[in-house]
Structures are given as structure tokens and as C-alpha cells.
Amino acid sequence: MEDKAANEPMMITVSVVSHGQWHLVSQLLTDLQTHCNSTTIELILTLNIPEVVTLDQADCDFSVRIIRNLQPKGFGANHNAAFSQANGQFFCVINPDIRFGSCPFSSLWACFSDSSVGIAAPLVLSPEGLPEDSARKFPTPWKILGKLKTRHNQPDYCLAGGIVPVDWCAGMLLLFPANVYANLRGFDERYFLYYEDVDICSRLTLSGLKVVLSSDTHVVHHAQRSSHRQIRYMFWHVRSILRFFLSSVYRRLRGGGWI
């Protein structure tokens, strides 16, 4: 029997969630249109709150499907809902505030030539071109308290080149084989905006697969950091941290020697 996947172009379903951020989403769509025109893409755009979208499908080389939420949902719930409509062999979560000057997908695809890889992410740079702390070791209460005490974030990994196995990557851009995402049952929707990425990378590790960062490709993150500015975001952040440390996932990481 012929391998169907070998005879058809691989398609990526790109999931983007907008919180009234069409000005950012439109720039991301331009990047996809400009730099990823040789990649087969379907984009699922979730509007988490009402907003005006000025999009002409005829101007896009890829299909765009829009989900309009009646009520706002969390990060995980939105991407899980998008995945339920996805047709791609790969599923990519991208934040609206990500920009790129070249297509990251070919380098990320290459990571999956190793069958033990379940999530691939690119190097993330600031607008000034400096590496962001997007790849980290699993958190512990002591590490978090140490960072609060010193106010100094020392990078957990040296990202000098090539493919680097890491504990977890921030959810600004994560690429999954669709079957891996399905087997994990997606993001845990009990988290809200924070620690969904820590949790899903932890569960992937417990399943026997690896998270890797490819420093052969990079994206630029124009950070929209609400957690430091609004009390409610800080509350959600702290609540998610506590949920993770009290979870069976965290206990299994500790019991398995990953922490």
C-alpha cells in the first residue's frame, strides 16, 4: 500500500487567537503570505472578543477560517477548539505578536526526523535581536522564589546552534504533529492564559517524547506583557502556578527524576 503522506504535501494548521488584536494578526498574516508561500497552510483565527476584521480571502494564498467566540475562553480552550476543526498533519500554535522574516516551518519540520520529538519551537528574539528566555527547565517553587528574590533571570540553556532538547518552551510558537497533540488531548483547559505550555510540555515528557528548540530558525516577539500591569492577570498567573505545583503531572515529574 502506498504511503499517502509521502505523496501529498504536508499541511500545517496554524491556530491564532486574537483578543482585539487585529492590528497584530494582520501583520502576522502578511508574514505568512510573504515568507511561507511554499508551505501548505490553513489558518484558523479565533476572535476571543468581538472585533472588526478586514480580511479579503482572495488576497491570501492559504485558507482562513474564523471562529467568533460568544464568550471569551482561555488559551488552551481556544486552541483545542481550533484543533477540533484542523485538517493539517501538523498543528502550530502562534501568538499574534510574533513576527518573522523567513519561514520557520522547514527547520521545525526537520526536528521531527527524530521520531522521539513531539514538540518543536524556534529561537525567539526580542525586537532588538536579543534571545528571549523562551526555553526553560521545569519550574520548582524554589526556582520561582529564587527569581523573585534576585530579580535576575539567568537563561537555563545555551542556545548556540542546532537542535537543543529542552524541558519546555513558551507557547508563543509551538509546532506539534497532529497525532501527538491528539494523543495529549491538547492543552489542559483548567489553566487560564498561563502555564498551559509548561503543563503540555510536561505531559509530553511523561509520555516519553521530547521538546526541542531549533536555533537554526528564529522569530521575533513583540511582547504584550499584561501580567506585570494588571492585577487580574497576576491573579491568573499565580493561580496557574499553584495549580501546576499541586497537580499529578508535577508529582510524576518529581517522582520520575525530571526535576
- pLDDT (tens digit per residue) in 178-195: 999 999 999 999 998 899
* Res. 3: pLDDT tops 50: no
Where do the DSSP E strands lie in the chain? 11-18, 40-47, 63-68, 90-94, 98-99, 117-125, 135-136, 163-166, 168-169, 173-177, 210-221
pTM of the model: 0.92
pLDDT computed for residue 234 by the predictor: 86
Q: Which amino acid is at 144?
A: I
Homologous superfamily of domain range 4-255: Spore Coat Polysaccharide Biosynthesis Protein SpsA; Chain A (3.90.550.10)
Helix-, strand-, coil-residue percentages of the chain, each rounded to 5 = 35, 25, 40
| β-strands 168-169, 135-136 pairing | antiparallel
Domain boundaries, the chain: 4-255
pLDDT computed for residue 224 by the predictor: 67
Angle value at C-alpha 257, between 256 and 259, nearest 5 degrees: 120
- pLDDT (tens digit per residue) in 195-223: 999 999 999 999 999 999 999 999 999 97
* Res. 5: pLDDT tops 80: no
